[in-house]
Structure 1
Amino acid sequence: MTLRSKKTLSLLFTLLLGSSLASASEQAKITGELKKWHKVTLTFTGPETSETANPNPFLHYRFNVEFKHEASGKSYTVPGYFAADGNAAQTSATSGDQWRVHFSPDEIGEWSYTASFYEYDYVAVSEWKKPAKPAKTGYMHGETGKFTVDKTDKTGRDFRGKGRLQVSGDRYLRFAETGEIFFKCGPDAPENLLSYTDFDGSYHDDGHYNKGAFADHPNEGIKTWEAHLKDWKEGDPTWGDGKGKALIGALNYLEEKGMNAFSFLTLTIVGDDQNVFPYIDYDTYDRMDVSKLDQWEILFEHATERGLFLHFKTQEAENQGLLDGGGLGALRRLYYRELIARFGHHPALNWNMGEEIGEWQPKQRTPPQYTHQRLAMAEYFHDHDPYHHHIVIHNGNWFDDLYGPNSYYTGASLQTNQQDFSNVHGSVLRILEDSKKKGKIWAVAVDEPGDAQFSLAPDEVDAEHDDARKNGLWGAFLAGAWGLEWYFGYKYPHSDLTCEDWRSRDLFWDQCKVALDFFNEVRLPYAEMESHDELIVDNGPTRRSAKGDYCLAKPGQAYVVLVKKGNAISLTLESGEYQLQWFNPREGGALQQGEVTSISAEGKGAHSLGMPPEADGKDWVALIKKR
C-alpha cells in the first residue's frame, strides 16, 4: 500500500467513524514469554479509531495499566498506546480498535493487572491522577486479570537473562539479575540510523528531505544499509513483505564483532537530516505513525536479544525548541509518553534528553533550552518511566547547572573536540569530580569522542587507530567512564550522516572488543577504584591531558596502568606483596609476564614495573594485584 493510499483510507475511516464509538470491551490478550525480564504484552479491544481521527487517540485518551506482584506488593503503572489493528508493523494499518501495553516483570510468581482508560481533552498529557470520567462506554476501563511469571531461560548476550540495567549510585550501571557491571562500546554513528527506506513514513516523499544537510544530494539521507544485507540470517525478523533485512543484519554484525551498544536519534526535524520522526508527517506533532513505531520496535527487540544497548537520543540542537518552544508542554509530554509506552520495557537503554542542547544554533529557527527546561525533561522521564532507566544529556553547555541531588539526571553523554582524543581522559575526570562535589555521582559515557571533522576515521584512513585506542578507549575507561560510543567525522566517507556500513571501522571494533574482554574478565573492585595517575612516577600533567600514562586504582589492592610507550615505569605502591602481569591492548589474549612478576613493598614508595613482555615501544597495560 502506498503512503498516499494509506492516508486516503485513514481519512475515509475517520469520516465514517466521526466521533461515535461502540463498546467492545473484552478480556485482554496476553502474549510474549511469561518470564522474568521479558516483554509481556497485553492487547485490549477499545474504541475503533485511526491516526487522524477525532477525538485524537494519542492526546485525548489516556490508557494505563497497573501491574501488582501478589507476593511482594510491588506495583508499576505502565502507559499504554493505540496499536491500530494490532499488527501494524506488518500491515501498515492506520486504524483499528487494538490498544496495547508492554510490561517487563522483575519478579517471578503471580501478577495482577488493572486497566484504566480515560477520555478527556489532553488527558494523555495531564497530571490528573483520576480525570473527570472514564471513556464514554467503558471499554477496558476497570478490567482486571492475572498471569504467572517464571524464571528467565535466557543466557549469553541476551539482556533478558541479565535483568534490567540499573543506576547504582556510583559510576557504573549494573544488571539487576546478575549484579554485573555493564561496560559498553559501539558506534554513535550514524545519528540518522532510523532514516531507513524500509520503515513506513511520510519522510519518503514529504518534500523536506532536501532542506537539511543533503540539500545538494536529494534522498541521500534515506539509507538502505545494503552492505549489511549479507549479515541477515534465516529466522531473523522482518516486516511487511520481507523488509528490514539489511538493518537487522547490521545489528547482527555488531554482535559478531563483540560490540554491545548503538545509538540513534528519534527526532531530526529541522536537524542535519530531516527524515527521522515518530509522527504521521513532518508538520503534525500530536499524531503518531503507528506502523513505523511498531517497525522500530522489531529492530529494538532484536537488539535486546542480541545484547545491544539502546541509546535513545530524543532530540538534537536544532530541534530543541521545536516542541512547545523547548518547554514541557503538551506536545513534548506526548512525545515522551509514546517513547516510554512503546519502548520503555527494554532492559538495557538510556534516555538522552538531547545532543548539544542549551546552545544557540545560528541557523536554527527555535531558541535554545534553558536550565529549568532541561531539568524538567529529566523530571518527566523520572516520574513517568516506571522502570527508572538511566537519564543523560549530551554536551551543549557544560553540565554545571544540572548536577546535584535535586536533579533527575543520572549521568553525562560526553562529547569532546580533539582529533587525537587527547581531552577524553581529563573530561571524564572533570565530570566525576564536579558531580561528586555537588552531591550525586554521575555515570559518564563518552558518546562522541574525538572531533567533528575526522574522528573516528575509517580503517582505510587509519588502520592502527593508536590515538583512538590509547587516549580515547583506554583513556576513558581508566578515568572511570562506563563506556564509549564512537562518532564518525564528516570529512571522511561513512560519516555521522552518511554511514551505512559499520565495516568501515571493522579493525577498530576488534580493539574495542579487546578492552571489553579485559574489563569483563579481569575481576577487580572497579566501583572502588579511582583515577590515580599521580601514582605513576614522573608522569607529567595527565589529569587534564593525554601526555602521560593512566592509572585506575584502589591503592593497596589493585592497579590498572596504561603504559603508552611500553617503557619501564615506576609506580607508587602501598606496603604489601603484589603480583604483576601484562595485557596487550592492541591484540588482547591472555595475561602475560614481563621483566618483573612480583613486587614486595615495605612501606609506601615507588617501585619499578620493569619492561612489558615485548620491548616494542607500543602501549601495554600493567595489572598489579595484591596477593
Structure 2
Amino acid sequence: MLCTGKFRLSPIAFLLICGFVSASPELAGPFDSPERLIQWHKITLTLEGPQASENGTPNPFTDYRMYVVFKHEKSGLKYRVPGYFAADGDSANSSAQNGNKWCAHLCPDKHGKWTYEISFRKGKNAAVSEKLEAGKPLAPYHGISGRFKVVPSDKSGRDFRGKGRLEYVGKTFLKFAGSGEYFIKQGTDAPENFLAYEDFDGNFKTDGRKDHLVKSWSAHAKDWDSGDPYWQDKKGTEIIGAINYLAGEGLNAFSFIPMNIKGDDRNVFPYTDYNERFRMDCSKLAQWEIVFEYADKKGMFLHFKTQETENELLLDGGDLGKQRKLYYRELIARFSHHLAINWNLGEEVNNASTSQKKSWAEYFFQNDPYHHHIVIHNMGNPHHDLMGEGSRLTGMSVQTNKPDFRNVYPRVKSYIQKAKKAGKVWAVACDEPGDAQHALRPDNDAGNSHDDARRNAIWGTFMAGGWGNEWYFGYKHAHSDLTCEDFRSRDAFWNCCRIALDFFKGENRSGRMALPVENMQCREDLVSKPNRCLYGKDNEGRNCLVVQALTEKEFAVKAPSEKLYKAGWLNSKTGEWKILSDIEKHKGGMLKFKSPWGIDGILLLYDWSRRFPQKE
C-alpha cells in the first residue's frame, strides 16, 4: 500500500477490465488517485500469475517473460511494455519475497479507449533472450486481452503529469510531448548514493561494505508534509522530504546510481544481495518506485546513472550478456514509464570498448518502449566514437575538472558542435561541473565557488547551447558527493539556479515569454570578446540574443535587423532587472552596451512581450 498521511491508498482498488476468472488482470491509476486512469499518469496492470519467489525455481526474473502490448484505438499508437515479478503486489509495505503478482506500467500519451494484450512465456533465460518466441506460452495468462478508457490529464504547474513525456526531438533541448514546452534543467548530481537510504529494504545496511555511508536524510524530515507518501510504519518521510525541499527551491532534477557495486559507496543495487546478479529485491525496488513516482508529481527529472567507472565491466565483462540484459530489462520494466528521465550508460565510463558501449545504447533503444533520452558520462574517454548519424545516443552528460568551472563553456560547446558535425544533434548538459575535490562547496565554506559556478558553469553551459546542469559536491568538503544528507548545505546557491531558469522560461514579473532556446546556438561572432552570445529566432522569425558580459567595459553586439528589440539587463546573482529603452527599426549592425553589474550582467535583446500582456 502507498500511504498518504493517515489515509492508505490501496493498490487493490483496481478497475476490473477482463472477464477471465482464473487470471483476471486489473488496472490501477497513480498513487494519489488509484481509482482513475488518467493521461500522462502511471497505470499499473497487475496480473495474478504463477506463484513465485525471489529465490525460487524457476527464477521469476530470468525464466518468465511478460510483455503487454498497449494500443490506443483511435490513433493506433502502440507500446510493447515489459512486465516484471512483483511478489505479492504490495511488497513496499509487506517486504514480501514471494507471491503471484506480475505488473506492467503504461503512461498513456492519449486519452480515450485503449486495448491491451498480454504475452507470458516460460523458459530457461526467456527474459534475456533476443528471440521473440523464446520459451513457451504459459496458459492461462498468455493472450489475455482487454480494454480500458483513459481520461484527460487534470494536472498543471510543476507536475510533469500535466506536461507529458520529455522527449528528444532532434534539437539541443528536450521537449514535453503534452505541453510542447522545452525543458531547462537545474538540479543535483550529488550525492551519487542518493538511494543508499536506511528506510529501504535490503541487507546493504549491515553487510560490512561502506555501511557508514548509509543515509538517514534526517535533515529533511521537516520537509515531509501530511498527505505525502510513505511506506510501512511512516518509513520514507525523510527522502520524500528531500524531494520536497529541492522542488521548493525551484530545482527540477536529481541523479543517482542504481547499481554501485565495487564503486565508491557500494550500498545501492537492485539485487537481493551484493554478490547476486540474477535475482531482484522486489520490496526495495517497489520502495524506490514510490520515491520516483512522487518525483514526477513534484516536477523532478530522474537521472539514472546506470553504472560507474569501477563497475562498468562488472556485468558480463562489459558485454551485453545475460547479467547486463537482465539489469537493463528490470530498470526499463519498473521505471521507464516515468515522464522525465534519461538513461546514462555510465558515470565516468573509461574502459569499455566502442562496440560494448554501442550495444548498451542499442539495448535501451530497442527495449525502452518510450525511447527516453540516452547519454553517457565522460572522464578520460570523450566518447566521440559514439557520435554520428546512426548513433543511438541523443546527448552527452559532461564532466569537467577545474575547481573554478572555467572549462564548462568550451567543453559543452565542443560536444554540441562535434555531434552536429558528425551528423546528429545532441542535447548536452553539464552534469558534473567543477572538479572532484571541490566543485560546488557548502554555503559556510563557499569561497569563490558559488560565484565561479554561477558565471562559468550555469551561464557557461547555457551560453554554449547546453540544456542545463546537475551539481556535484567535492569530496574535500562537508556534505560531499558521498556524505551529503542535507541539500540545505548549498541553499544560497539554489537562488542562482532559479534565477537562470526564470530568465529562460520567462517566469517573472516582467511578463516575458519563454526564450526560443530550442532554436538558439552559441554565436561568438556576434559579440566582441571576451563576452559570449547565444542567438536564434523564435517560430515567428523574431531575433533573440542573450549576451553574457565578461567585461566591465562597454562592448558591441552585432544585432541582426529587427523591427523591435526590447532590451534589459539581468543581474545573474540577485535576479534584479534593469529594463532599457526599446530599440525600434534596427537595420542591423553594431549596438553598444555596458553592463550595470559588471561580469554579473546578462543582456537580453528580444521582443519578449508581443503575445503576452504585462503582468501586474
Aligned partners of 2:103, 2:464: CA distance in 1, in Å? 43
Aligned residues: 570
Shift, 1:587, TM fit = 1.6
Shift, 1:73, TM fit = 1.6
Distance 1:40 1:436, change over 3 A: same
- Corresponding residue of 1:168: 169
Query: Structure 2-normalised TM-score?
Result: 0.90
- Corresponding residue of 1:542: none
Q: Is the 8 A contact 1:378 1:409 kept in 2?
A: yes
Matched, 1:231 2:213: no
Aligned partners of 2:489, 2:135: CA distance in 1, in Å? 56
Per-residue deviation, residues 243-285 of structure 1 (Å, max 9, x unmatched): 1111100000001100000000000000011100000001110
Matched, 1:416 2:400: yes
Name the aligned partner's letter for residue 557 of structure 2: L
Aligned partners of 1:24, 1:92: CA distance in 2, in Å? 27
Matched, 1:379 2:362: yes
The DSSP-based 3-state class of the residue aligned with 1:284 is: coil
The DSSP-based 3-state class of the residue aligned with 2:358 is: helix
1:162-241 map, 5 Å: 162-207=163-208, 209-210=209-210, 219-241=211-233
- Corresponding residue of 2:499: 514
1:340-419 map, 5 Å: 340-357=332-349, 359=350, 368-396=351-379, 397-419=381-403
Shift, 1:566, TM fit = 4.4
Q: Is the 8 A contact 2:549 2:598 kept in 1?
A: no
Matched, 1:303 2:290: no
The DSSP-based 3-state class of the residue aligned with 1:551 is: strand
- Corresponding residue of 2:27: 30
- Corresponding residue of 1:560: 546
Aligned partners of 1:563, 1:624: CA distance in 2, in Å? 13
Q: Is the 8 A contact 1:107 1:149 kept in 2?
A: yes
The DSSP-based 3-state class of the residue aligned with 1:281 is: coil
Matched, 1:592 2:585: no
Q: Is the 8 A contact 1:24 1:46 kept in 2?
A: no
- Corresponding residue of 1:617: 598
Aligned partners of 1:103, 1:460: CA distance in 2, in Å? 45
Aligned partners of 2:197, 2:281: CA distance in 1, in Å? 15
Shift, 1:399, TM fit = 2.1
Aligned partners of 1:181, 1:509: CA distance in 2, in Å? 21
1:6-25 map, 5 Å: 25=22
Shift, 1:132, TM fit = 4.2
- Corresponding residue of 1:466: 451
Aligned partners of 2:514, 2:304: CA distance in 1, in Å? 30
2:76 corresponds to which of 73, 76, 80 = 73
- Corresponding residue of 2:486: 501
Aligned partners of 1:195, 1:401: CA distance in 2, in Å? 33
Aligned partners of 1:442, 1:617: CA distance in 2, in Å? 33
The DSSP-based 3-state class of the residue aligned with 2:376 is: strand
Q: Is the 8 A contact 2:124 2:135 kept in 1?
A: no
Aligned partners of 1:523, 1:132: CA distance in 2, in Å? 52
- Corresponding residue of 1:12: none
Shift, 1:601, TM fit = 4.2
Name the aligned partner's letter for residue 169 of structure 1: G
Query: What RMSD in Å do the two structures reach over aligned CA positions?
Result: 1.6
Aligned partners of 1:526, 1:247: CA distance in 2, in Å? 33
The DSSP-based 3-state class of the residue aligned with 2:579 is: coil
- Corresponding residue of 1:455: 439
Per-residue deviation, residues 117-175 of structure 1 (Å, max 9, x unmatched): 1111110010111234113xx14211111100110001111101000000010101000
Aligned partners of 1:466, 1:163: CA distance in 2, in Å? 35
The DSSP-based 3-state class of the residue aligned with 2:49 is: strand
Name the aligned partner's letter for residue 381 of structure 1: F
Per-residue deviation, residues 446-481 of structure 1 (Å, max 9, x unmatched): 000001101111111227711100110011011111
Aligned partners of 1:549, 1:599: CA distance in 2, in Å? 24
Name the aligned partner's letter for residue 219 of structure 2: A
Matched, 1:317 2:309: yes
Matched, 1:491 2:476: yes
- Corresponding residue of 1:363: none
* Structure 2 unaligned residues grouped into runs of 5+: 1-19, 30-35, 507-512, 611-616
Q: Is the 8 A contact 1:580 1:599 kept in 2?
A: no
Name the aligned partner's letter for residue 535 of structure 1: L
2:569 corresponds to which of 579, 582, 604 = 582
Aligned partners of 1:461, 1:204: CA distance in 2, in Å? 30
Aligned partners of 1:265, 1:24: CA distance in 2, in Å? 41
- Corresponding residue of 1:154: 155
Per-residue deviation, residues 343-396 of structure 1 (Å, max 9, x unmatched): 110111000000111x2xxxxxxxx31110001101000000000000000003
The DSSP-based 3-state class of the residue aligned with 1:220 is: helix
Name the aligned partner's letter for residue 413 of structure 2: L
2:134 corresponds to which of 131, 134, 138 = 131
Matched, 1:41 2:44: yes
Shift, 1:550, TM fit = 1.5
Q: Is the 8 A contact 1:583 1:620 kept in 2?
A: yes
Matched, 1:551 2:554: no
Q: Is the 8 A contact 2:387 2:422 kept in 1?
A: yes
Q: Is the 8 A contact 2:52 2:99 kept in 1?
A: yes
Distance 1:247 1:132, change over 3 A: closer
- Corresponding residue of 1:214: none
The DSSP-based 3-state class of the residue aligned with 1:182 is: coil
- Corresponding residue of 2:90: 87
Aligned partners of 2:104, 2:560: CA distance in 1, in Å? 55
Shift, 1:617, TM fit = 3.4
- Corresponding residue of 2:465: 480
Shift, 1:536, TM fit = 1.6
Aligned partners of 2:561, 2:344: CA distance in 1, in Å? 44
Q: Which moved more, 1:66-75 or 1:150-159?
A: 66-75
The DSSP-based 3-state class of the residue aligned with 1:46 is: strand
1:531-542 map, 5 Å: 531-537=522-528, 539=529
1:519-530 map, 5 Å: 519-521=504-506, 522-530=513-521
Shift, 1:565, TM fit = 4.2
Name the aligned partner's letter for residue 513 of structure 1: R
- Corresponding residue of 2:6: none
Q: Percent identity?
A: 51
Aligned partners of 1:107, 1:415: CA distance in 2, in Å? 37
Shift, 1:524, TM fit = 2.7
Distance 1:286 1:456, change over 3 A: same
Shift, 1:525, TM fit = 2.4
Q: Is the 8 A contact 2:114 2:149 kept in 1?
A: yes
Per-residue deviation, residues 192-235 of structure 1 (Å, max 9, x unmatched): 0100100001212223x14xxxxxxxx22100011111101111
Q: Is the 8 A contact 2:126 2:135 kept in 1?
A: no
Aligned partners of 1:575, 1:58: CA distance in 2, in Å? 62
Aligned partners of 2:275, 2:446: CA distance in 1, in Å? 42
Aligned partners of 1:549, 1:471: CA distance in 2, in Å? 12
Aligned partners of 2:568, 2:425: CA distance in 1, in Å? 31
Name the aligned partner's letter for residue 391 of structure 1: I
The DSSP-based 3-state class of the residue aligned with 1:481 is: coil
Name the aligned partner's letter for residue 224 of structure 1: S
Shift, 1:553, TM fit = 0.9
Aligned partners of 1:184, 1:256: CA distance in 2, in Å? 15
Aligned partners of 1:146, 1:114: CA distance in 2, in Å? 9
Shift, 1:572, TM fit = 1.5
Distance 1:460 1:31, change over 3 A: same
Name the aligned partner's letter for residue 559 of structure 2: L
